[in-house]
Amino acid sequence: MLTAIEDSRSFADAAERLHISPSALSHRLREAERRLGVRLFQRQGRRRRPTAAAQILAQTARRLRAELEQAERSAVAASTNITEIVRLSVAVYNAFHWLPAFLSRFEAIEPAIRIEIETHGIAAPYENLVNRTIDIVLTPDTVLPRPLEAKDLFEDELVAVVPPGHAYATQPFLTGSDFLSETYLTYSLIKQPGFEADRVWAAEDVMPVHEQVVGSIEAITELIKAGFGISILSHWALYPQIDAGALCPVRTTRKGLHLTWRALLLASAELGSPERRVADALVAWFAENPPPGLGPIEH
């Protein structure tokens, strides 16, 4: 109940999440406060603000729910030949075009481990790893919190992504100034080190004049196709659409914006643990199946 309220815009939304009426939710809340002997919410006008007690309980509830969900998965798996489950996510991008081929190889090698895809890791991959709601995250980030360990997987390139027929589609490369006359579509205004913020904008002392924040990569690519703007995105993540001719990649800066995708897991994971075996299998698979790139840099 507390996590549903915390994740909802209103009590009515929280009640809908719980499949009960708003009045039933209010009754449950009063009963919880009676049993605990503390107030969980304070009224502020039409809204209710969680007290410190509610925040403590909700934080613990999230951890316990994650453990219970994992226990349920393990219980179901125990009735089959699957003994371990590893939850995997890809940060920022829902890029899983490589997954079927990898799973075919992995299941033959490790039939007792099942890999489950968790898309909620996109929003807060580090937090989800530390809270153990996800076991492995694929990410190109360069700065990592201390509890995490990274295994390099493959080299990728950030490219300008434009629609077919765009004036930039035939350019050998773009510079920061080329983005000044275009609507630049981005999924976040947070300037992460190692990406276009410091390798294009700061390096060339420019900033896109028309910048529009769009909350998902899928929405950005659809807007690009329709001619509403351009962006800088991962060549590997968008390769299926690039290969199909729906999007055109253009190298950004003369030297290109190269980056390394890595598999993140908790550094405390034991040797031989299921998540380490999956991470090692990912390293081996991508070594044998490197993603296609843009080709050599022209000098």
For the record, the structure tokens of 158 come out as: 């950030």
CATH number, domain with residue 28:
1.10.10.10
Q: Which domain holds residue 22?
A: 2-63
Does residue 71 lie within any of the structural domains?
Answer: no
Does residue 296 lie within any of the structural domains?
Answer: no
Please state whether the predicted TM-score (pTM) of the whole model is above 0.75: no
Q: Per residue in 203-216, pLDDT tens?
A: 888 888 888 888 78
Q: Provide the H-helix boundaries in the chain.
A: 2-6, 11-18, 22-36, 52-78, 99-109, 125-130, 196, 202-204, 217-225, 239-243, 274-288
Say if residue 180 is in the same domain as residue 195: yes
Does residue 297 lie within any of the structural domains?
Answer: no
Say if residue 133 is in the same domain as residue 178: no
CATH number, domain with residue 247:
3.40.190.10
Q: What is the mean pLDDT of residues 139-155?
A: 89
**Percentage of residues in the chain with pLDDT exceeding 90?**
53
Phi then psi for 285, rounded to 5 degrees?
A: -70, -45
Say if residue 236 is in the same domain as residue 181: yes
Q: What is the mean pLDDT of the chain?
A: 88
Task: Give how far the C-alpha of residue 282 lies from the chain's centroid of Cα atoms, to the nearest Å.
Answer: 18
Does residue 69 lie within any of the structural domains?
Answer: no
pLDDT for the residue 196:
85
pLDDT for the residue 131:
82
pLDDT for the residue 189:
65
Decide if pLDDT at 297 tops 80.
Answer: no
- Structural domains in the chain (count): 3
From residue 296, alpha-carbon distances to 60, 156, 178, 197 in Å are 51, 13, 22, 24
Say if residue 172 is in the same domain as residue 206: yes
Say if residue 146 is in the same domain as residue 268: yes
How many other β-carbons are positioned within 10 Å of the β-carbon of residue 219?
Answer: 12
Does residue 243 lie within any of the structural domains?
Answer: yes
Residue with tokens 């934080």: 59
- Tell me which of 75 and 262 has the higher pLDDT: 262
Say if residue 254 is in the same domain as residue 163: yes
Say if residue 189 is in the same domain as residue 47: no
Length of the chain: 299
Say if residue 57 is in the same domain as residue 130: no
Dihedral Cα 250, 264, 97, 72, nearest 10 deg: -150
